[in-house]
Amino acid sequence: MINQNLARARTILRLDKQVATALLEKSLTRMPGIVDFEINHVGGTIRVDYDPQKVTFDDIQNIVKK
């Protein structure tokens, strides 16, 4: 059953070709408020579902751009 009260947002960001995927996955997994994410290596993007009450878009973007 889906919790209808959970606030969720989704963003899709472009990835740098030189991004360290394993490090990015580890960082996102540890970040509070990240609900789910999927890295598309072929398209060079990452989709992130998150709780905007716990993490901001800027926080996510800072992790992805590191």
Annotated domain spans of the chain: 9-65
In 3D, which of 21, 19, 15 has the Cα closest to residue 47?
15
pLDDT in tens, 41-56: 888 889 999 999 999 9
CATH tag, 9-65: 3.30.70.100
pTM: 0.78
pLDDT in tens, 17-37: 667 788 889 999 999 999 999
- At residue 30, φ and ψ (nearest 5 deg) are -85, -15
